[in-house]
Structure 1
Amino acid sequence: MLHPVKMQKIRLFALKPAADNLIRDLHSMGIMEISVSQRAGDLEEGRPLGSFDEISKQHVRMRGIKNALLQFLPKNYETGAGIDSSAIPDSISSAKGITIDSRLKELQEERAKVENSLSRLREELLLANRISYFENIDFTALETKTTGSVLGTIRREKLADLQEALAKVPGSESAFKMLYLIEGDTVLVLILYKKGYDLDPILNVAGLIRIILPQNLGYPQKYILWLLHEIKSNEKRENEIQSEISSMAAEHYSRVSALESQLSVEADRAEIASHFSSSNLVFIIEGWLKKADVAVLEKSLGKYDGKVQLQEIRASHDEAPPTFLENPTSAANSVQFMTEDFSLPRASEIDPTFIFFVTVPLLYGMIVGDVIYGIMSIFIALFFMKKFANSLLMSSVSKLWLFSSIPAILFGLIFDEWAGMSHLHILEILEKWGVLSLETLGIHEPLYLGLSRLHNVATLLAIMLYVGMIHLAFGFIIGAINEWHHNKKHAIGKLAWIGVELGGYITIGAFVLNAVPADLGPFGGALLGISTILIAWSEGAAGILELPGIAGNVFSYLAIAIVGLVGTILAELINSLFMPLPSQGLMVLVFFPLLFALHMINAFIAMFEAIIQGGRLNVIEFRFKFTQGDGRLFAPFSVSPTERNISR
């Protein structure tokens, strides 16, 4: 739980006749990550199996057919149901037997042409309907040797200017004729003119936007009838094509989908042989698996009657094992994404997942620190869990949010905060509404004294500094444990950072802040000096340059107090302005929903900030004190990602 699963590197020696069956068994078991074998002596570099090219070819064909048919399946068709791909004895022959791809391609190309034609015809229909106002004009007869026409639109306020400009042209009464249709803010204009006149300057000033007409337009009404006929004819053909492809989909999709799945598996199996090294008689497979699975694999190889031998080998010095995280379900489902996605630890390092499972909710609780907001947090987290059930990341964040709600309630009790009020304040408000009587209950003073954040700011800040120092010191201790078996010098350096923390605190507290007895000042200075020397010895100049950063790391934990205080201040402000009381009469109908809404907004902001700040302090300030974080996730050779034994 606190360490990734122990991994073992192995080497398999197998006779070539056993290749196909062994690859199939390894793929089905899904427990071994296969790496590229190192060549030695007369061994040759691995190559894919001879069937790889044909498998890949048929796989691409089946995938193309599947994607083409998918959109034409009946609405009630269950894509998850169908033929079991493992029941297909010869996938290559079966794939070759499906020959609908050429016809399917023809139909798709024709369908694309029909769709383009329909799009063009419908656009022309819109234009024809628009100019049908000029129903008695044959547009094909407007262009002659002596006459021309211009059709376009102008803004309505430009109409009078255009008419005036045309009227000023000499001989305009016989040279021009303008017809127009007002369409809201625009005007559809048709100008008939004798050639020899340059209208472009006038039309440009008017801002006319020309409309290009189809060449065979003729009379608008007749053209509209022809367009409707063509559209109907094309729509009929489109339906015929769709019907034929739908029939193909209903008949072939299940088998094509099963073949595509099976060929994908077989392509993986054929391609993996390129990772092997081989001789004329033997091929060698190297890779990683969990230490506990070595016996499982060894037992399964017994059926090969000695044709396959397993050897446990030691990895080279520069070869790191893959990382496989194994945590309790609650931790794996809520915070493991933080470990995997934000710099995975090496297989030899401590797995911080379960530590995050404890520290992230604690920091969240310290920031939110309100009983009622904690209860709201539960319902908001449940809502997000349901809404993002299909999102791995958001589902994990929502579960972490839910777990973190409990510490928020507990710290709310410690701080005595109930939506920005003390427990006694809430009881007094309930008494004003006649819900209870404090006299009857015998309550004359607070039931307990909480650590009010607003009235104990200095104490709160001091506590958060202690929390930061302890949290970081814990990180350095884990770092020392990680390094102890690899480099004791670096392990001592990790522990020296704790001395810097403690020595710096004692020295400053004694000589500057008077928070520590002055007699301890020299001891703190000595501890700080010795720790600094040890860091210089173990980490060199880089460690010395990082010394000022440790103070920044500790002070960053003040964000816990500051963000929490801001939320508390806003909550009290909301209560002082909008708390509904019986004396307010009908205004309580306004104040009740307003109070609830504002507290929901404030609570959500506090929760969001708590997740961000808590995550930042754990992932950045804390984790980098003990992990190098360049691990590689264990990815076994497996039939499907869901069988890769990766805890997500």
Structure 2
Amino acid sequence: MLETERMSKITIAVSKIKQKSVIKTLHDLKVLHIVEHRKTEELDIGTPIGNSEKIAELLVKITSILSDSKEAISKEELNNIILAQSIIQNADFSLDEIETKVKEVETVIKEKKESISKIDASVSKKKELILKLDVLNSLYLNLESYKPFKSIICFVGTIKHKEGLKDKLEKVTSTFKLHTSQNCKDLVVALFVDRKKEKEALDVLKQYNFTELDLTFIEEMKGLPLSHITKLNSDIQKHIAEKNAIIKKIETIKSKNIEIMYQYKNFLSIEAEKAEAPLNFGQTKETVIITGWVPSKRVDKITEKLESITNNRIFIEPIAPDKHESVPIKLKNNLIVKPFEFFMNLYTLPKYKEIDPSFFIFLTFPIFFGFMLGDVGYGIVTLLLFLILKRLIPAAKDLLKAMMVCSFWSILFGFIFGEYFGFEYVKSHAWQTIIETLKLPLHKELIEGAKNEIVYEFPRLINRMHGEVNVLGNEINLVLVIGAIIGFFHINLSILLGFINELKGHGLKTAILARASWYVFEAGLALIVLKSLGIITASSYTNYIGIALLVISIVMIYLGEGAQGIIEIPSIFSNTLSYLRLGAVGLASVGLAVVINEKLAMPFMEKGGIFILISILILIVGHGINIALGIIGPFLHAIRLHYVEFFMRFYKGGGKPFKPFGANANNEEESE
């Protein structure tokens, strides 16, 4: 549990004739983390096998179909299909079968989309025509009026204004007919004038910023513009209905084929992985060389399988890892601890043979969280919240499982602190009958103040708000002191783990100098402090012994860690004090809860009537906000105490994850 999975490096040499069957077996076993081969003079890089280009092409087409199909079904149906396909891994298809089906779906969808494009173009054209006709419609003239006559010419367009236009035209000619109408922002004008005065009339219009309309679109039209507008609108509605029918057909096609497309995608992804695997191999003219990492307990199994499928015509050599090699990391924890591996993946994986802190995070992270959010009501709410989220967000199941454990600790500390949604007691006049009838174990207490009041206190072991302890003559809140004590033991545990890591990695001497030296430092400091406080009086040499231990420890730290170790000496005090946040964050949370209850909600509750609803609303909103803060704050502070204060004395990390060939996000474990 404290160590990562032991790994063995293996080298496999096999004939190219057997390469395909070896790749398939390795993919099925899911136990080999392949090491990419670098080209050398002796060994070239392998080449893809099978129809890798065709597979890649089909994958692109299927991905395009699927990305376009997600709107055809509900999100829940899509998630169920994806989940089902991630579980079913043994579907088998031929490339020709897939290509035929994909082409069929692609062709049908393409034809339907082309029809939609034509409809859109037609609708767009008709809308444009309506806009033009709408301009003419404002003049209330038959469309035949605008067509050219032998002796009369017609000017149709827009002008900025019409003041004085008629007078100016009369100066040019007495033979004209002027029609104007306001259309939106534009002033539409239609001028019928003798052809002999065409130029003069146009010059007048230009003085009014005349913009002529192109009327070629009405050559085949007759009657009033409104009749044509009505017909065009009717045609547009028919086109829209036709388009919607086609869209529905496309969605039906997509929904019918989405499941098989996901099956194809999964199958092709696996085939692509197999086909491209040789790009990580070394090869000669006749042989391929595969190098990778296998969990040591699986070496015999992989050897047996490969020898079986090749009739023993294969060379397999397992090698114990060199201490300087970068060995892939596979965490090894039981089902209870496993969700807490999330925090290691979030931070960084341990190096090979370095202690895996997952177990210690499992032990202390929920306690820290629960200590800060110690409230029975809050714990129950967060537990239900994390349970619901776990079902809604499967990808975050490990984190949410870990947070559910944290909620249990919140409930436990809630009982210890006697806090229920921030309430530490209930008032006797409201609850006395219920308490006495049910014989609840609540303690009757008199609260003295502006008006003396008898209340029933919830049972508790620690009064978080008011519990104090005397430290060196000073009254300090008990939960702050508990936080400091937790910090002392937590940091000393990290020093012990650091000692074990150094012992395994660099030997006993380095372990003593770099890590055990901190215990010597603490012992010397403790002797000096206890002597100065008068707690130790037995020997007059206690101070000298303490000083000697301090000097010795500082020398040891310097020899073990160099100047960096000396610089870190003050940090052991600041790190311990950082654990005061365990109590401080909790006090802030309960303080806000008390304000919500006693200062905001209860005054309204006591007024009765409609004010009770206001009080309930305040309680729901207030505690909702406090719970949200109570999740975020304790989570971040607990993470910091582990990543910074706890990890700094034993954990380096930097390991790369074990990624066995053939495994994926939905099938992380190697086959048994």
TM-score category (smaller protein): 0.7 to 0.9
1:603-642 matches, cutoff 5 A: 603-638=627-662, 640-642=664-666
After superposition, what is the alpha-carbon deviation per residue over 1:326-362, rounded to whole angstroms, capped at 9, x for unaligned? 32223323x2211112111123222222211121110
Q: Which amino acid aligns with 1:17?
A: I
- Which residue pairs with 2:403 in the alignment? 401
- Which residue pairs with 1:4 in the alignment? 4
1:113-512 matches, cutoff 5 A: 113-114=117-118, 116-117=120-121, 120-121=124-125, 124=128, 134=138, 136=140, 149-150=157-158, 167=163, 179-180=181-182, 188-192=185-189, 194-197=204-207, 216=217, 220-228=225-233, 230-231=235-236, 234-235=239-240, 238=243, 258-303=263-308, 304-333=310-339, 335-386=340-391, 388-390=392-394, 392-393=395-396, 395-422=397-424, 425-426=425-426, 428=428, 430-432=430-432, 435-436=435-436, 450-456=462-468, 457-488=476-507, 491=511, 492-500=513-521
Q: Relative to 1, partners in 2 of residues 1:257 and 1:555: Cα closer, same or farther, differing over 3 Å?
A: closer
The answer (yes or no) to whether the contact 1:454–1:568 under 8 Å persists in 2 is no
Q: For 1:10, what is the secondary structure of its paired residue?
A: strand
- Which residue pairs with 1:14 in the alignment? 14
**1:135 positional shift:** 6.2
Q: For 1:311, what is the secondary structure of its paired residue?
A: strand
Q: Relative to 1, partners in 2 of residues 1:147 and 1:353: Cα closer, same or farther, differing over 3 Å?
A: same
**1:379 positional shift:** 2.9
The answer (yes or no) to whether the contact 1:361–1:407 under 8 Å persists in 2 is yes
Whole-Å Cα distance in 2 between the matches of residues 223 and 478 of structure 1? Answer: 88
Q: More deviation in 446-455 or 406-415?
A: 446-455
**1:559 positional shift:** 1.6
TM-score (norm. length: structure 2): 0.76
**1:24 positional shift:** 0.9
**1:10 positional shift:** 0.8
- Which residue pairs with 2:585 in the alignment? 563
Larger Rg: 2
Q: More deviation in 107-116 or 374-383?
A: 107-116
- Which residue pairs with 1:643 in the alignment? 667
Q: Relative to 1, partners in 2 of residues 1:342 and 1:240: Cα closer, same or farther, differing over 3 Å?
A: same
The answer (yes or no) to whether the contact 1:324–1:646 under 8 Å persists in 2 is no
Q: Relative to 1, partners in 2 of residues 1:51 and 1:538: Cα closer, same or farther, differing over 3 Å?
A: same
Q: Relative to 1, partners in 2 of residues 1:585 and 1:66: Cα closer, same or farther, differing over 3 Å?
A: closer
Whole-Å Cα distance in 1 between the matches of residues 529 and 141 of structure 2? Answer: 97
TM-score (norm. length: structure 1): 0.78
Q: For 2:351, what is the secondary structure of its paired residue?
A: coil
- Which residue pairs with 1:572 in the alignment? 594
Gaps of 5+ in 1: 152-161, 182-186, 201-209
Q: Relative to 1, partners in 2 of residues 1:281 and 1:503: Cα closer, same or farther, differing over 3 Å?
A: same
Q: For 1:286, what is the secondary structure of its paired residue?
A: strand
After superposition, what is the alpha-carbon deviation per residue over 1:265-319, rounded to whole angstroms, capped at 9, x for unaligned? 2221121112111223322111111111112112212322211232102445542
Whole-Å Cα distance in 1 between the matches of residues 529 and 207 of structure 2? Answer: 94
The answer (yes or no) to whether the contact 1:34–1:285 under 8 Å persists in 2 is yes
**1:323 positional shift:** 0.9
The answer (yes or no) to whether the contact 1:5–1:290 under 8 Å persists in 2 is yes
Query: Would you say 1:543 and 2:562 are equivalent positions?
Result: no
Q: Relative to 1, partners in 2 of residues 1:538 and 1:267: Cα closer, same or farther, differing over 3 Å?
A: same
The answer (yes or no) to whether the contact 1:46–1:274 under 8 Å persists in 2 is yes
Whole-Å Cα distance in 1 between the matches of residues 63 and 30 of structure 2? Answer: 24
- Which residue pairs with 2:25 in the alignment? 25
**1:244 positional shift:** 7.3
Whole-Å Cα distance in 2 between the matches of residues 91 and 74 of structure 1? Answer: 29
**1:484 positional shift:** 1.6
**1:572 positional shift:** 2.5
Q: Which amino acid aligns with 2:111?
A: L
Q: For 1:643, what is the secondary structure of its paired residue?
A: coil
Whole-Å Cα distance in 2 between the matches of residues 33 and 103 of structure 1? Answer: 41
Q: Which amino acid aligns with 1:319?
A: E
**1:558 positional shift:** 1.8
Gaps of 5+ in 2: 172-177, 191-203, 446-456, 469-475
Whole-Å Cα distance in 2 between the matches of residues 314 and 441 of structure 1? Answer: 63
Whole-Å Cα distance in 2 between the matches of residues 297 and 41 of structure 1? Answer: 29
Whole-Å Cα distance in 2 between the matches of residues 410 and 211 of structure 1? Answer: 84
The answer (yes or no) to whether the contact 2:369–2:410 under 8 Å persists in 1 is yes
**1:429 positional shift:** 5.8
Q: For 2:393, what is the secondary structure of its paired residue?
A: coil
**1:637 positional shift:** 0.7
After superposition, what is the alpha-carbon deviation per residue over 1:74-106, rounded to whole angstroms, capped at 9, x for unaligned? 999995789x99565642576368654784585
Q: Relative to 1, partners in 2 of residues 1:148 and 1:135: Cα closer, same or farther, differing over 3 Å?
A: closer
- Which residue pairs with 1:530 in the alignment? 552
The answer (yes or no) to whether the contact 2:31–2:670 under 8 Å persists in 1 is no
Q: Which amino acid aligns with 1:326?
A: K
The answer (yes or no) to whether the contact 2:123–2:236 under 8 Å persists in 1 is no
Q: Which amino acid aligns with 1:384?
A: L
**1:20 positional shift:** 0.9
Q: Relative to 1, partners in 2 of residues 1:369 and 1:33: Cα closer, same or farther, differing over 3 Å?
A: same
Q: More deviation in 290-299 or 252-261?
A: 252-261
- Which residue pairs with 2:36 in the alignment? 36
After superposition, what is the alpha-carbon deviation per residue over 1:625-645, rounded to whole angstroms, capped at 9, x for unaligned? 322221111111116442331
Whole-Å Cα distance in 2 between the matches of residues 617 and 37 of structure 1? Answer: 41
Q: For 1:474, what is the secondary structure of its paired residue?
A: helix
Whole-Å Cα distance in 1 between the matches of residues 42 and 585 of structure 2? Answer: 67
The answer (yes or no) to whether the contact 1:15–1:281 under 8 Å persists in 2 is yes
Whole-Å Cα distance in 1 between the matches of residues 120 and 662 of structure 2? Answer: 45
The answer (yes or no) to whether the contact 1:66–1:256 under 8 Å persists in 2 is yes
Equivalent pairs, count:
612
The answer (yes or no) to whether the contact 2:134–2:225 under 8 Å persists in 1 is no
**1:262 positional shift:** 2.9
After superposition, what is the alpha-carbon deviation per residue over 1:571-623, rounded to whole angstroms, capped at 9, x for unaligned? 22233333379974435454355345433432342233112211222233323
Q: Relative to 1, partners in 2 of residues 1:343 and 1:582: Cα closer, same or farther, differing over 3 Å?
A: closer
- Which residue pairs with 2:114 in the alignment? 110
**1:516 positional shift:** 7.0
Identity %: 23
The two structures, once aligned, show a CA RMSD in angstroms of 4.6
The answer (yes or no) to whether the contact 1:142–1:148 under 8 Å persists in 2 is no
Q: For 1:564, what is the secondary structure of its paired residue?
A: helix
**1:462 positional shift:** 2.6
After superposition, what is the alpha-carbon deviation per residue over 1:122-175, rounded to whole angstroms, capped at 9, x for unaligned? 864885798697261579959999956448xxxxxxxxxx98xx7599968989
Q: Relative to 1, partners in 2 of residues 1:260 and 1:623: Cα closer, same or farther, differing over 3 Å?
A: same
Whole-Å Cα distance in 2 between the matches of residues 168 and 526 of structure 1? Answer: 112
**1:72 positional shift:** 6.6
Q: More deviation in 452-461 or 227-236?
A: 227-236
The answer (yes or no) to whether the contact 1:16–1:282 under 8 Å persists in 2 is yes
The answer (yes or no) to whether the contact 2:378–2:421 under 8 Å persists in 1 is yes
